[in-house]
Structure 1
Amino acid sequence: MGYKLSLLTGLILLAVSLYKLKQSIDFIGRSERAMGIVISLEEDGDGAYSPVFVVKTKEDEIIYHHSVANSPATWHIGEEAIFLYDPGNPGSVTMMGYFWLFNWTIFSIAIAIPLIIFGLSYYLINPLMRLQDESH
């Protein structure tokens, strides 16, 4: 039963991964680039700092609070970064970088592949074990 559950979970996570990959590629295709500049550093209470960017789009300026905090701070006020945003939804600002664009795809496929291998191995090895038992 554990093999079936492993295989099913892996296949579901693979489907989620492919769906998130399609969403990311669609977002990249319809997005525009914008430059962001660090305007301040926010302390999270543990001595770690996360940057706050002002992202200048064609229409407006958007304040973007980066979700990662580091100690010591890895960003400095005035540093620049490239962002992507959907012109139809300016609130969809995402930092341009492989991890920030494909993070859910990476996580779900990293879990899906071992589960699928584990689940499929039972179905591939089980008939061979039955043949071996019958031959003895």
Structure 2
Amino acid sequence: MWYKLYLLTGLILLGVSIYVLKQSIDFIRSSERVTGTVISLEVSDGAYSPVFSITTPGGDEIIYHHAAASNPSSWEVGETATFLNDPHHRSSPRMMRYFWIFNWSLVCLGLAIPLIIIGGGYFVLPTASTPHLSTPRL
């Protein structure tokens, strides 16, 4: 019975992954490349996260607080990074790194694949109680 739940959950997560992947691809298509410069480092629980100042082609400035933090800091004030920004949504910059663009799609897919394999395996493989698997009597 549990295998049906695993398969259903895996298929739902696969659908979510494909949907989020499509949203990410649409975001990439509609966005423009901008450069951000680290203006400061925030300290939280002993870890440092960078704060970027991003200037759009229209001259607007966006302050972006990066979600990742590390100790020691992996960023220094003055370093630059490339971002993708949708010009129609001011607060939409994403760092142009593979994981930061496709993060939820990768996470959902990583959970969906094992669940589909485990749940689907029970439908594909015969169970041990089937007669043709028992040893013949001599």
- Tell me the TM-score range normalised by the shorter chain: over 0.9
Equivalent-residue separation in structure 2 for 1:107 and 1:35 (angstroms): 27
Structure possessing the higher radius of gyration over alpha carbons? 2
Equivalent residue for 2:72? 72
- What are the residue-to-residue correspondences of 1:54-93 with 2, within 5 Å? 54-59=53-58, 60-93=60-93
Give the superposition deviation at 1:135.
7.4
Equivalent residue for 1:50? 49
Equivalent residue for 2:94? 94
Superposed CA deviations along residues 31-81 of structure 1, whole A, max 9, x for unmatched, are 00000000000000x211000000111120100000011000110000000
- What is the one-letter code of the residue matched to 2:106? I
SS in structure 1 of the partner of residue 71 of structure 2: coil
Equivalent-residue separation in structure 1 for 2:35 and 2:132 (angstroms): 64
Superposed CA deviations along residues 87-136 of structure 1, whole A, max 9, x for unmatched, are 11021110001000000011000000000000111001136752425775
- What is the one-letter code of the residue matched to 1:132? H
The sequence identity of aligned pairs, in percent, is 56
CA RMSD in angstroms comes to: 1.5
Stretches of structure 2 lacking an aligned partner (at least 5 in a row):
none
Equivalent-residue separation in structure 2 for 1:129 and 1:88 (angstroms): 60
SS in structure 2 of the partner of residue 84 of structure 1: strand
Q: Where has structure 1 moved over 2 Å in runs of 4 or more? A: 126-129, 131-136
Stretches of structure 1 lacking an aligned partner (at least 5 in a row):
none
Equivalent-residue separation in structure 1 for 2:131 and 2:104 (angstroms): 42
Equivalent-residue separation in structure 2 for 1:17 and 1:32 (angstroms): 24
Equivalent-residue separation in structure 2 for 1:103 and 1:134 (angstroms): 47
- What are the residue-to-residue correspondences of 1:1-136 with 2, within 5 Å? 1-44=1-44, 46-59=45-58, 60-126=60-126, 130-132=130-132
Equivalent-residue separation in structure 2 for 1:135 and 1:68 (angstroms): 58
